[in-house]
Every structure is written in C-alpha cells, then in structure tokens.
C-alpha cells in the first residue's frame, strides 16, 4: 500500500511543478533603411555583411558571447536585462546608420520579442510586444541602440580597436511572468524527474523483494 502512496506523490510533483524558465537563444538588431544587421548568431563568414551583437550581463564588460559563441541566458521571474554593443557602421562616421533600429529576441520556448528604438533627439522606445506560451508570459519593456564615441568591440570579437572607433551601445529589458494556475505547457524541472524516477525505482525494488519472500510449498 505504501508504494501506491509513493507513486501518487511522484505524480503530484509532476503536476505541481512550474515550467522551466525560458532561455534566450539569439538576439539581433536590424537597421530600418540601410540593411544593417548586428546578430548574436553570426560567426565570421556565415552571413555576409553582418556584425556581431554582443550581450553583456549582469554588467558592462561581462559578455555572454565575447568570441561570437551562442547565447545561453536562462531568464528568471521578474525583470531581466542586458547591455548591448556592436561595431561601428558606417565606418569612420559618428552618425547613426539608420533612423530606427528594431530588436528581435528569440527564446527556446518559441517566443519572439520585438521592439524599436528611434535614436538621436527623439530617443524613444516604441512597439514592445508580449508573448504568452503555456503559463509563461514574456514582455519587452525597454530597448535602446545608438552610436557612441567609444571603441568597445570589433566586428566579431569583443576586443577594442579591431574595427571602427565609434561603436554602438544600448540595452534591453524584458519581464518573465509565470502563472502557477495555468497547467498548459508545464515542463517538469530536472529535480522533479529525478524524484519520480527514484520513486519508481523504489517501488520496483519493493515489489521484487515481496515476490522473493513468497514461500513455495508442494503437496
């Protein structure tokens, strides 16, 4: 009887556990008029003309993709943010390449967040969206991207003085909200899987011991 209770407990854990936090897998900034693109998933030579978009979290200089590697950032409940850096374009200029920049964030749960920023005197974030998948809602709350008078990164590596001396800088932030009352799309945490597997193993072991204790008699 105690084994059936253990099975019920394992099932309850799987039902009650929340979804895992969404993971940011790529980010890109698109210029509105000159086909300028900075992208995190952009190794040298893979996409002609694109520069790398470097993400920094939790602070300046703490790059998530210093050498153009894939982004791995597990979002947490509440506010999430990152600083941005990209090599200067047009080369040799201090002006913004485009009158508007659009950010695109892609997550492993299928969500895509977008928003735009108007640099210069307007200095305005516009059009941030929100996406709900299962019990998780992701919302873009801030984005900026503009030409700065500093050399912080190169075209494909986060090293100063390997590209233009007037690079781009900015930031973005988004919120992640998990509704525990929504059951759709729940994904067990690894600890929950371990508990369930361990419980089933104990049940099997107990049943095996019970069978081994059955006495066999002959008439």
155 & 200 share domain = no
User: Is the pLDDT confidence value at 160 over 50?
Assistant: yes
Q: By C-alpha distance, which of 164, 186, 182, 170 is closest to 88?
A: 164
User: Is the pLDDT confidence value at 33 over 60?
Assistant: yes
pLDDT of residue 198: 58
144 & 42 share domain = yes
162 & 57 share domain = yes
User: Is the pLDDT confidence value at 210 over 70?
Assistant: no
**CB under 8 Å to 66, separation ≥6 — which residues?**
54, 157, 158
User: Is the pLDDT confidence value at 9 over 50?
Assistant: no
Domain span at residue 130 reads: 23-178
User: Is the pLDDT confidence value at 214 over 80?
Assistant: no
127 & 49 share domain = yes
For the record, the structure tokens of 149 come out as: 């008078």
> Has residue 218 been placed in a domain?
no
> Has residue 54 been placed in a domain?
yes
pLDDT of residue 95: 95
> Crossing angle, helix 2-16 and helix 190-212, to 10 degrees?
170
Residue 199: pLDDT band (50, 70, 90) is: low
95 & 192 share domain = no
- Nearest-angstrom CA–CA distance, 134 and 160: 42
158 & 56 share domain = yes
147 & 60 share domain = yes
> How many separate domains does the chain show?
2
Alpha-helical (H) ranges within the chain are 2-16, 190-212
Residue 102: pLDDT band (50, 70, 90) is: very high
Residue 158 DSSP one-character state: S
38 & 136 share domain = yes
8 Å CB contact between 55 and 40: yes
User: Is the pLDDT confidence value at 206 over 70?
Assistant: no
> Has residue 183 been placed in a domain?
no
167 & 205 share domain = no
> Has residue 217 been placed in a domain?
no
User: Is the pLDDT confidence value at 119 over 80?
Assistant: yes
Residue 91 or residue 184, greater confidence: 91
- Nearest-angstrom CA–CA distance, 200 and 181: 27
pLDDT of residue 22: 94
51 & 135 share domain = yes
104 & 173 share domain = yes
pLDDT of residue 163: 78
- Scored b (16 or more CB within 10 A) or e, 185-204 reads ebebeeebeebbeebeeebe
Global pTM value: 0.74
73 & 132 share domain = yes
């Amino acid at each position: 009887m105690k084994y059936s209770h253990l099975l019920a407990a394992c099932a309850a854990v799987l039902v009650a556990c929340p979804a895992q936090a969404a993971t940011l897998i790529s980010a890109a900034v698109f210029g509105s008029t000159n086909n300028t693109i900075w992208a995190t998933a952009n190794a040298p030579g893979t996409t002609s003309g694109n520069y790398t978009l470097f993400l920094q979290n939790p602070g300046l200089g703490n790059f998530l993709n210093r050498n153009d590697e894939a982004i791995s950032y597990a979002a947490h409940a509440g506010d999430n943010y990152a600083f941005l850096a990209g090599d200067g374009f047009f080369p040799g200029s201090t002006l913004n390449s485009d009158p508007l920049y659009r950010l695109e964030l892609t997550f492993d749960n299928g969500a895509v967040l977008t928003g735009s920023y108007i640099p210069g005197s307007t200095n305005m974030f516009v059009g941030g969206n929100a996406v709900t998948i299962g019990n998780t809602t992701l919302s873009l709350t801030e984005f900026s991207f503009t030409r700065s008078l500093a050399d912080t990164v190169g075209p494909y590596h986060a090293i100063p003085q390997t590209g233009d001396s007037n690079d781009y800088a900015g930031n973005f932030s988004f919120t992640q909200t998990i509704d525990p009352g929504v059951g759709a799309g729940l994904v067990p945490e690894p600890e929950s899987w371990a508990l369930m597997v361990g419980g089933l193993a104990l049940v099997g072991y107990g049943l095996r011991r019970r069978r081994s204790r059955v006495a066999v008699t002959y008439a």
